[in-house]
């Protein structure tokens, strides 16, 4: 294991930011103490103590992303030239369009979205990193898996995740309920374990290795923001920065163990058993105000909406943005009919999607136990209570047993 001194974190980020965007958790000004992953620029403070309110899924599935731009172009020449006398179409003007045909000369130009650049996500937690792995199962990090969303894949490929291992947890954390808990390595490229005076660094992927091995032990050649004396860009000579990762014999620290939700085995069947027990779902959601925070903060919720936004009548963009299954509009049909008319229906779907459908279809539980939905819920709704009660209810005699 290599050792990274705590005081070298800033230098590490400095070096990383010379070739990538760096995003790191920071307390936001004027936000009443909200911590979010924000674009890090030299000199920015970090908050590695508090948990970010919103997950890091933004890195691969932005809140809103442009899929492409479009504009209406016109080739129609003036009719009746010279102006002043109405006349037949001048030479070269397309013949009068047939009834119902498009406007003469109109065409639509498509402009591709700018390609995503490289991003380093610093200070994610195991649950955040694992969530990326969970999303990969749907969006297709690798060929042949998922439906290969090109924008997602490009962002994912350009993303390096440096995870901060959790030595402590809070009562909302429940990652230990799922597989490896705080020891989860999936989704991370490099994991930093806090120890006295710094961190032990463990590379999980070649990306992580390259950070330790080469990439950041010297300043990047193309660093335009270099200080004088950092090295000669022409010669490619390495900058004379300090070596950040040193050999270390320190012992691995003990990771936190978070709350467990018992009885989750066979949850799919248990949820199926109470699917029709609408009273159960009503009781669970009666305090819910369907604000949608849980889905927006969640590292694994990934429902999106695609919509065209026009600027004026001539040009616009096709955008993809987050959507939330807790919204009434989510399944609203054009006819006005809504197959999930109440909160109870919608919450049932949310739970089932996370713990039944997604595991069935993608082989991963759509929850990593990060606890954001618990910490931030304005009405104090706790998904673990719902799971526990679902387990309990499914065991109850005669309650939808034949499902």
- Pick the closer one to another protein by CB: 57 or 221: 57
User: Count of alpha carbons within 13 Å of 225, Cβ hemisphere only?
Assistant: 10
- Pick the closer one to another protein by CB: 212 or 301: 301
What is the DSSP code (8-state) at residue 130?
H
- H or E element, residue 150: helix 150-157
Nearest approach, Cβ of residue 156 and another protein (Å): 15
Q: Cα(first)–Cα(last) distance of the chain, in Å?
A: 51
Nearest approach, Cβ of residue 286 and another protein (Å): 5
Nearest approach, Cβ of residue 239 and another protein (Å): 26
- Pick the closer one to another protein by CB: 59 or 135: 59
183-222 residues near another protein, rule: CB under 8 A: none
**Which of 378, 383, 381, 369 has its CA nearest to residue 51?**
369
11-30 residues near another protein, rule: CB under 8 A: 21, 28-30
- Pick the closer one to another protein by CB: 86 or 144: 86
81-100 residues near another protein, rule: CB under 8 A: 82-84, 86, 96-97, 99-100
Nearest approach, Cβ of residue 307 and another protein (Å): 6
Token digits of residue 120:
């380093």
- Pick the closer one to another protein by CB: 19 or 66: 66
**Which of 195, 193, 196, 194 has its CA nearest to residue 204?**
193
Please give the backbone phi and psi of residue 60, each rounded to the nearest 5 degrees, phi first: -115, -20
Any contact of residue 336 with another protein (CB under 8 A)?
yes
Any contact of residue 33 with another protein (CB under 8 A)?
yes
b/e code 13-49 from CB counts within 10 Å (16+ = b): bbbbbbbbbbbbbbbeeeeeebbbbbebeeeeebbbe
CA distances from 355 to 119, 272, 361, 365 (A): 30, 10, 11, 6
- Pick the closer one to another protein by CB: 217 or 305: 305
Any contact of residue 308 with another protein (CB under 8 A)?
yes
Nearest approach, Cβ of residue 272 and another protein (Å): 26
The label of the residue with tokens 């699917």 reads 275
Answer yes or no: are the C-beta atoms of 106 and 74 closer than 8 Å.
Answer: yes
Residue 82: cis peptide before it, omega within 30 degrees of 0: yes
Answer yes or no: are the C-beta atoms of 33 and 27 closer than 8 Å.
Answer: yes
117-156 residues near another protein, rule: CB under 8 A: none
41-80 residues near another protein, rule: CB under 8 A: 50-51, 53-54, 58, 62-66, 72, 74, 76-80
Q: State the Cα–Cα distance between residues 155 and 246, nearest whole angstrom.
A: 31
- Pick the closer one to another protein by CB: 332 or 362: 332
Query: What length does the chain have?
Result: 403
Residues paired with 104 in a beta bridge:
none
Contact pick of 260, 376, 389, 399 for another protein (by CB under 8 A) = 376
**Of 32-40, 192-200, 220-228, 240-248: span binding another protein (CB under 8 A):** 32-40
- Pick the closer one to another protein by CB: 2 or 345: 345
Contact pick of 6, 45, 171, 396 for another protein (by CB under 8 A) = 171
CA distances from 362 to 11, 135, 149, 268, 353 (A): 39, 9, 15, 13, 11
Contact pick of 118, 248, 332, 362 for another protein (by CB under 8 A) = 332
264-303 residues near another protein, rule: CB under 8 A: 286-287, 289-293, 295-297
Contact pick of 6, 45, 103, 157 for another protein (by CB under 8 A) = 103
Contact pick of 144, 224, 329, 334 for another protein (by CB under 8 A) = 329
- Pick the closer one to another protein by CB: 58 or 202: 58
């Amino acid at each position: 294991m290599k050792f990274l001194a705590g005081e070298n974190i800033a230098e590490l980020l400095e070096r990383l930011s010379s070739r990538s965007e760096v995003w790191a958790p920071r307390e936001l000004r004027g936000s009443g103490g909200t911590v979010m992953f924000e674009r890090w620029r030299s000199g920015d403070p970090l908050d590695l103590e508090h948990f970010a309110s919103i997950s890091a899924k933004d890195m691969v599935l932005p809140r809103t992303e442009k899929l492409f731009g479009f504009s209406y172009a016109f080739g129609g020449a003036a009719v009746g030239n010279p102006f002043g006398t109405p006349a037949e179409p001048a030479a070269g003007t397309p013949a009068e369009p047939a009834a119902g045909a498009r406007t003469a000369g109109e065409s639509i130009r498509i402009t591709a979205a700018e390609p995503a650049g490289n991003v380093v996500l610093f200070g994610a937690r195991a649950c955040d990193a694992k969530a990326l792995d969970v999303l990969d199962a749907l969006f297709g990090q690798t060929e042949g898996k998922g439906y290969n969303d090109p924008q997602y894949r490009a962002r994912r490929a350009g993303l390096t995740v440096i995870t901060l291992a959790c030595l402590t947890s809070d009562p909302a954390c429940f990652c230990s309920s799922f597989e490896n808990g705080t020891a989860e390595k999936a989704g991370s490229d490099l994991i930093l374990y806090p120890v006295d005076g710094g961190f032990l660094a463990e590379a999980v992927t070649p990306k992580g290795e390259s950070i330790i091995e080469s990439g950041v032990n010297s300043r990047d050649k193309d660093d335009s923001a270099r200080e004088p004396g950092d090295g000669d860009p022409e010669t490619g000579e390495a900058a004379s920065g300090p070596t950040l990762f040193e050999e270390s014999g320190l012992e691995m620290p003990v990771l936190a163990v978070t709350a467990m939700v018992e009885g989750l085995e066979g949850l799919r069947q248990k949820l199926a058993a109470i699917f029709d027990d609408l009273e159960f779902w009503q009781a669970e959601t009666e305090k819910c105000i369907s604000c949608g925070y849980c889905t927006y903060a969640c590292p694994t919720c990934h429902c999106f909406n695609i919509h065209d936004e026009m600027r004026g009548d001539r040009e616009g963009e096709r955008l993809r943005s987050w959507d939330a299954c807790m919204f009434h509009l989510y399944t609203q049909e054009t006819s006005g009919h809504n197959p999930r008319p109440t909160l109870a229906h919608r919450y049932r779907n949310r739970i089932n999607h996370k713990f039944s459908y997604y595991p069935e279809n993608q082989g991963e539980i759509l929850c990593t136990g990060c606890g954001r939905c618990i910490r931030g819920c304005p009405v104090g709704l706790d998904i673990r209570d719902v799971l526990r009660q679902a387990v309990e209810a499914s065991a109850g005699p005669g309650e939808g047993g034949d499902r």
